[in-house]
Amino acid sequence: MASTFPRRTRVAAAVALIVALAGAAPPASAFCGFYVGKADAKLFNEASQVILARDGNRTVIGMRNDFQGELTDFALVVPVPVVLQKGQIHIGDPKIFERIDAYSAPRLAEYFDPNPCELRKMAREMAALPASADAMLAQKARRDKALGVTVEARYTVGEYDIVILSATQSNGLELWLRQNGYRIPAHASRALQPYVRQGLKFFVAKVNLAEQAKTGFSYLRPLQFAFEYERFMLPVRLGMLNAKGPQDLVVYVLTRNGRVETTNYRTVQLPANVELPTYVRGEFPKVYKALFQAQAKREDYRVVWTEYFWDMGWCDPCSADPLSPEELRGAGVFWLDGDLSPIGGPGTGAAPIARPRGSAQPVMLTRLHLRYTPETLPEDLMFQETQDRQNFQARYILRHPWQGDAKACPEAKSYFEEVAKRQEREAQTLANLTAWDLNDIRGRMNVQAVSAPQWWERLWR
């Protein structure tokens, strides 16, 4: 009996993972919300932008500098590993920098709480339906119809039981999933709602334990340089010779397989996927600028921050469309369709492959942001491409409360009590991220501090 326990544990974990991906709440996943704003590299003064495309030992670097002054005074000095031929130097398109910046910029997503009385109404209607064993199938069909859910198809594929659903209301879909044994977070309807509105279908899967057991498994035009070099690095030290205080560097790294990080400095994900007060909707660039400054200062300007990592083929939510194959080539990506480079990189012996147009692009984008001084950046940046493909974006969330009456139903009162606690958490989160005064934030939100319950209140509750 003991020998079967590890297998069941792994199966349970797999089920939890699949359901989490299918129905997690907005703060913990990338469900599409109503996109309302972004914070791009133009926010930061004394900033340079670099697009770095790398595969094997081949590198294309494009540099766009925030140069201010007479153009006759401008000079760009970039260390390169070899004597570049004229054909290895190219004048890039500044629009490519604007596009890749907009696509990967930190973003704000917006959600609206549903009516807390609707779930209660639906639950009461479901309880009134007949429960006769002889009428079980008919009962289920009526129940699904009442929820606005249609089972379009059912399959067993390998060790997975799969259903394809369509739905007319997100609350009904959330109830259907719960009633059919899917463990999903509370208020998942907020996340499902945009997809329901678009008329999309829903792929839902569970692990079939019997089938699983059979498997046996557990601002100037940018300059671009193309060259070959075994070291994956970016020379930045020379750019500090005429620096006037802290500098900002945003690097967009395009690779074939995985996330990129620095090897000689700490690479850390920026605090993200948290809920902020709704009043920041109209001033998100200001908020993000203060947030980044506070985080960089706390780390003494010695950390490289990951602001974005995603497959260039898609995004969720998108602050701009992914770059087209033509734009990616303009950014220096040399391994797309039509290029006869070995898929495995130079020197691998892999056969040349031309990818058909319209297929998913084999391009991963890592956006790194560094604020530094000559003292905090003693070495040029050294990189490595990791095997990590876990998506990440600096996304910040607004959740608008339901605008109904607290007396509308019994659930409304407890809902508004929870909203008050949530708003206090939002205020504290913003204060922590930006180093702004908490009481000033509460004043902007028009909320009072929520004190923790006394020990005896928790005892008798």
The conformation of residue 3, written as its DSSP 8-state character, comes to: G
Residue 51 is inside which H or E element, if any? Answer: strand 47-55
Strand blocks (E) in 66-128: 89-91, 107-112
Q: Does residue 339 carry a pLDDT above 50?
A: no
- What is the DSSP secondary-structure string of 17-32? HHHHHHH--GGGS---
- Better-scored residue on pLDDT, 235 or 280: 280
Angle between helix axes 116-127 and 136-146 (nearest 10 degrees) is: 160
Question: What would the pLDDT profile of 173-195 be if each residue is shown by its tens digit?
Answer: 777 777 776 655 566 666 677 66
In angstroms, the CA 4 to CA 104 distance is 45
Q: What is the mean pLDDT of residues 271-287?
A: 93
Question: What would the pLDDT profile of 358-415 be if each residue is shown by its tens digit?
Answer: 445 789 999 999 999 888 988 889 999 999 999 999 999 999 998 888 888 888 888 8
CB contact set of 1 (below 8 Å; sequence gap of 6+): none
Q: Does residue 143 carry a pLDDT above 80?
A: no
- Better-scored residue on pLDDT, 222 or 231: 231
- In this structure, are residues 136 and 111 in contact, taking their beta carbons and an 8 Å threshold? no
Q: What is the mean pLDDT of residues 134-153?
A: 66
Question: What would the pLDDT profile of 148-169 be if each residue is shown by its tens digit?
Answer: 888 877 767 565 565 667 777 7
Q: Per-residue confidence at 32, pLDDT binned at 50, 70, 90?
A: very low
**SS3 label, residue 422:** helix
Strand blocks (E) in 284-441: 303-311, 364-372, 381-385, 392-393, 395-400
- In this structure, are residues 93 and 266 in contact, taking their beta carbons and an 8 Å threshold? no
The conformation of residue 323, written as its DSSP 8-state character, comes to: P
Other C-beta atoms within 10 Å of 342: how many?
16
Report pLDDT for 63.
Answer: 85
Q: Does residue 342 carry a pLDDT above 50?
A: no
CB contact set of 101 (below 8 Å; sequence gap of 6+): 40, 41, 42, 49, 250, 252
Report pLDDT for 88.
Answer: 87
In angstroms, the CA 365 to CA 254 distance is 5
Report pLDDT for 127.
Answer: 58
The burial of 363, by beta-carbon neighbours within 10 Å (0-12 exposed, 13-18 middle, 19 or more buried), is given as buried
Question: What would the pLDDT profile of 67-92 be if each residue is shown by its tens digit?
Answer: 565 544 555 656 677 777 778 888 88
Please provide the average confidence, as pLDDT, over all residues in the chain: 75
Report pLDDT for 110.
Answer: 86
Report pLDDT for 359.
Answer: 44
Report pLDDT for 36.
Answer: 60
Report pLDDT for 369.
Answer: 96
Report pLDDT for 28.
Answer: 29
Query: What length does the chain have?
Result: 461
Structure tokens, 32: 């599409």
Q: Alpha carbon 22 to chain centroid distance?
A: 16
In angstroms, the CA 259 to CA 331 distance is 18
- Cis check: omega of the bond before 185, within 30 degrees of 0: no
Report pLDDT for 171.
Answer: 73
Q: Per-residue confidence at 238, pLDDT binned at 50, 70, 90?
A: low
The conformation of residue 132, written as its DSSP 8-state character, comes to: -
Q: Per-residue confidence at 438, pLDDT binned at 50, 70, 90?
A: very high
CB contact set of 404 (below 8 Å; sequence gap of 6+): 115, 116, 117, 412
Q: Does residue 170 carry a pLDDT above 60?
A: yes
Q: Per-residue confidence at 42, pLDDT binned at 50, 70, 90?
A: confident
- Name which of 23-37, 126-140, 315-329 the model is least confident about: 23-37
Residue 10 is inside which H or E element, if any? Answer: helix 5-23
- Better-scored residue on pLDDT, 125 or 374: 374
Q: What is the mean pLDDT of residues 257-281?
A: 95
The conformation of residue 180, written as its DSSP 8-state character, comes to: T
The two beta strands, 47-55 and 247-255, are parallel
Residue 436: C-alpha distances to residues 255, 365, 380, 432 (Å): 37, 32, 33, 7
Task: Give me the amino acid identity at 175.
Answer: L
